[in-house]
A and B are shown apart, each in its own frame.
Chain A
Amino acid sequence: MAVLVVAEHDNASVKDATNKTITAALALSKDVDVLVAGQGAGAAAGAAAGIAGVRKVLHAEGAAFEQGIAEAIEGLVVPLMANYDAVLFAATATGKNAAPRIAAALDVSPISDIQEVVSGNTFVRPIYAGNALETIESSDAKKVITVRTTAFGAAGAGGSAAVESVAAGAATAAITFKGAEIVKSERPELAGAKRVVSGGRAMGSADEFHNVIEPLADKLGAAVGASRAAVDAGYAPNDYQVGQTGKVVAPELYVAVGISGAIQHLAGMKDSKVIVAINKDADAPIFAIADYGLVADYKAAVPDLMGELTKAGL
């Protein structure tokens, strides 16, 4: 079977989420092609060609692709599916937006957020906020899949695929891009970070979040996350949210500060390798899944921890 992976990229390089999606695609088939659609994305197409295991790169140019407009991606991918048995997206905001649209256009049931490829038509995916795993078998001739990237390793370098241009169809007039507000950050990207420090409602204010969580994250070279409570209260931007409705992370180290551990938050981080919880409530549910728990007020514990990390040479 031939498989198409729709890449996410920044025009120069391919995002880590796509590398991981390629790993999932290679578990399905040896014939994996990557579609790089963007505006001035030639370098990204070249980068995709260098990923090990990629057979061919398809490169399409168009402004709407850069904005991740689902209608444009549908118009590009659906005709290409004549040549493919499956199309995979990373389960990011862009992938989740476009994949079901393509599935409906092809009259197939999309398979969301897979965390394991059992065979060419059988997959494992989490349901009920990760509290159950379902193994599903698809009877559709063509598969439209989004991939939970934290469950797969990144495909390596060393490929030398050919790059082929494909023409993009006309953009639909029914939807237009008006603008974007992207949060600027020097820190690692939350979804792919090796370490994550998250703050919760206990911070009490945006200043406190800024003064406590961010220095600790910087000390650890970590990305910053937040619970829904912290985001709703305005302590942290929306895209910091870790959980069922935010981002799913699985770093080597996850430090939860002042987070009680609601089901919806745990859904986004319980596959982390090592979980540390700092909370003054000894009965907080977070302690049930934390490898190391420190029952203490973060106001004292975080500065202590910063000091110990300095002593440890960080």
Chain B
Amino acid sequence: MKILVPVKRVIDYNVKVRVKPDQTGVDLANVKMSMNPFCEIAVEEAVRLKEKGVASEIVAVSIGPQQAQETIRTALAMGADRGVLIQTDADLEPLAVAKLLKAVVGEEAPQLVLMGKQAIDGDNNATGQMLAALLGWPQATFASKVEIADGKAVVTREIDGGLQTLEAALPAIVTADLRLNEPRYASLPNIMKAKKKPIDVKAVADYGVDVASRLKVLKVTEPPVRAGGIKVESAEQLVGKLKEAGVL
């Protein structure tokens, strides 16, 4: 079984983002970038499925600037077999990304697409669901456990209030939640080996897909800053302050 794993290059999750003074966006110049944490979890799960003998090939795909090759190399070092980069400097919306991924699915014919539940930059939580709709495939989002057998994926999902288990007929889309697994670190020998694995570089134009923006960002602003608080000396003083504030 072939697994396709879409991965995204995003600002490192530990970086405190700064909004540009002209309100056109977030300052990404000279900021550390990494693979989106949820994408790492998806790659890890794909690699584990390969180690179990369920998957035969893992293809990592990224859509982004030339530097997104580094993100694909990270996936290759973790255990993916080869990469596809659709190179573009445009910041594509989930709709456009889903359409491009649909085209990649058409070429690669995977049985499973494993991806993160959301990217920590746009926080949209949409691409997986949209890809599933465009392909007419079933979806199992926010997965915390995945079992593949007999042409089916049995997926435990994190829902409000607890867990839900669904059975999806393959081919299907699964999006990874935090608790699906603990991603491995790529070892130095694997990082070296990953340099020899192939990455196919494509352009958006190769796919003949409409990627026009539907959403125009008018401005990006700082959220309101909380007024500084005070430190209290004791629980007694704390309860007094909470009463004054009218929340007790």
Contact = CB atoms under 8 A, between A and B. Distances in A.
Interface of A: 67-71, 74, 92-94, 96-105, 107-113, 122, 126-140, 172-183, 191, 195, 228, 231-232, 237-239, 244-245, 247, 252-253, 263-264, 270, 273-276, 282, 287-295, 301, 304-305, 307-309, 311-312, 314
A180 B243 CA distance: 41
B93 to A, nearest CB: 5
Given A100-B124, A108-B214, 16 more contacts: A70-B129, A93-B157, A100-B127, A104-B95, A108-B95, A137-B216, A179-B165, A180-B159, A180-B164, A181-B162, A231-B179, A270-B223, A282-B231, A289-B229, A290-B229, A305-B239
Contacts of B93: 109
A182 B239 contact: no
17 contacts: A103-B133, A109-B95, A109-B215, A127-B123, A131-B16, A175-B169, A176-B166, A177-B164, A177-B166, A181-B162, A263-B16, A264-B13, A289-B226, A292-B229, A292-B242, A294-B235, A304-B235
The B interface, classified by DSSP as helix, strand, loop or mixed, is mixed
Given A132-B19, A134-B220, A238-B144, A178 B229 contact: no
B125 A239 contact: no
B118 to A, nearest CB: 8
Contacts of A288: 228
Contacts of A264: 13
A97 B142 contact: yes
Interface residues of B, number: 82
A109 B214 contact: yes
B220 A127 contact: yes
Nearest to B212: A139
B124 A287 contact: no
Contacts of A245: 117-118, 177-178
Given A176-B167, A180-B164, A136 B121 contact: no
Contacts of A176: 166-167
A133 B220 contact: yes
B61 interface: no
A293 B229 contact: yes
A226 to B, nearest CB: 13
A295 B231 contact: yes
A175 B229 contact: no
Contacts of A100: 94, 124-130, 133
B122 interface: yes
For A93, A140, A304, which residue has the most chain B Cβ atoms within 10 angstroms? A93
For B95, B128, B154, which residue has the most chain A Cβ atoms within 10 angstroms? B95
Interface string B105-130: 00000000000011011111111111
A293 B231 contact: yes
Nearest to B158: A238
B29 interface: no
B217 interface: yes
B238 interface: yes
Interface string B150-194: 000010011111111111110010000111000000000000000
